[in-house]
Structure 1
């Protein structure tokens, strides 16, 4: 009977497992095998060169500079995005006129929810085009507003300045993703039990103390998962940067690894080397994600 049960379960798992192997595992294996060759991508000739591409990658200054840009995005964008989203979610979900245990947020919170989420509805490509005009040094809205309020000395070619190009792109990414994580945190806060907050009010805890001692610990898993997910996105960053600054920005100041991979494959015709870049990026993602998840492991809060 038990044998029949396991066979029945295996019959249901066989097809999904096969699809996972074909469409998920197989591409990774193929990418690694291509990275061990000098394949140009445009012919059937490919010579096995072992770890030659990886040896070249270790001494490739352009790759490491692109990786440093990804790491800057990884540190700044998630911290700022999640911080803003957490603040907005607490204001529109927990704060309000009914005390620390209230629900519904500040007055007009439903309108704010629509406004905050709207940027995430805009596709990345369209956002890149819009902000390309926004940062335009001559006819852009940003410099125009600075001139109107009398801050002419602050106007500059934002995307043409090696100092400000990457921060300008970070601002766009933050604008895009805040809305999504605002919704995630709002949902997490709405699922918290009201009686816990009522007990905190009876004990005399203020809003900040309630948020720090009750709300944050109870949504730690959501915060951790959000940071990992957004961090993985920042290790990519190809779509927006390729639209706003397809040439890697002034003096390569905004080029990320995904853009370097794209150029190595489709501009330089080095698919083998590009595959090695992709494998390296995948390993970096795993190295950063797995320890973070393990360090954040704690006892589950039951409520």
Structure 2
């Protein structure tokens, strides 16, 4: 009995510091976001005016907020689908095919993930430059000059240009994770499937994908949340929401309202919506992808 009590005390001693930090830097700030969303406050004065849900009512008629919502959803759909598809494809090729220098390719693909977002923004701003950018330069060399565009100045294209930078930054990280999962699948499964006449595409969908499904499900939920944050930092560094609001997203608009336009309460109302949207979307994805785990 005393031994069990000592073990319990030791466990509490280990988790208490992390729990205290979680409360101080996660729960309390989150609570304050919701609390300040019902006030009208500049963020700098001592006067706070309680306005109830007026900030949320204003959001419904805010055209810029609606545009930022549409852009956020568009980025989440495009970036998530392409990143996960490319990561799975590259992981399958690197795992199942006899590729020389796999470790080198793994490092090369992973490098974008360890770069600062500001560095990535600078790289892609240079690539997309209309006059001296690499992309337009290559199109000109390949005699596809008719495809040259102002990639960060065209309102119809700029959001897709941002999506390209996000995909480049993320795909290597998830490729490495899926390679680790696929490498643990017994080779005998593929050999038995090959004897039955299954091709590599059938083996991927019937063996590889089901057996790494739990990992895919977990990373998908994490990716959705991280993409919302990544979109803010990239857009802040590359376009700041321009041109003419074409790349405005949730967090960038919240930042402008709270810290630039001195509408802190309104900004916190946007932050509350972002939190509820992220939580609800993660829950929806988790429920939609839930299935019985396959053990081997």
Q: Does 1:267 align with 2:260?
A: yes
For 1:174 and 1:48, the matched residues in 2 are separated by 42
Shift of 1:260: 0.4
Q: Please say if residues 128 and 244 of structure 1, whose CA atoms lie closer than 8 Å, have aligned partners that are also in contact.
A: yes
Q: Does 1:57 align with 2:51?
A: no
What is the match of residue 238 of structure 1?
232
Shift of 1:94: 1.3
For 2:64 and 2:107, the matched residues in 1 are separated by 42
Corresponding pairs, count: 293
Shift of 1:95: 2.0
| Alignment TM-score, normalising by the size of structure 1 | 0.91
Shift of 1:169: 0.8
For 1:92 and 1:14, the matched residues in 2 are separated by 42
- For residue 26 of structure 1, the aligned residue among 21, 25, 28 is 28
Shift of 1:153: 1.4
Report 1:219-298 matches (<5 A): 219-236=212-229, 237-246=231-240, 248-298=241-291
SS in 1 for 2:40: coil
| Alignment TM-score, normalising by the size of structure 2 | 0.93
For 1:13 and 1:151, the matched residues in 2 are separated by 59
Gaps of 5+ in 1: 97-105
RMSD of aligned residue pairs (Cα, Å): 1.8
SS in 2 for 1:41: coil
For 2:215 and 2:16, the matched residues in 1 are separated by 32
Query: Deviations 1:260-303 (Å, cap 9, x if unpaired)?
Result: 01110121101111011001000001111112212222212222
For 1:291 and 1:302, the matched residues in 2 are separated by 25
For 1:16 and 1:233, the matched residues in 2 are separated by 21
Report 1:163-174 matches (<5 A): 163-174=156-167
Shift of 1:249: 1.8
Gaps of 5+ in 2: none
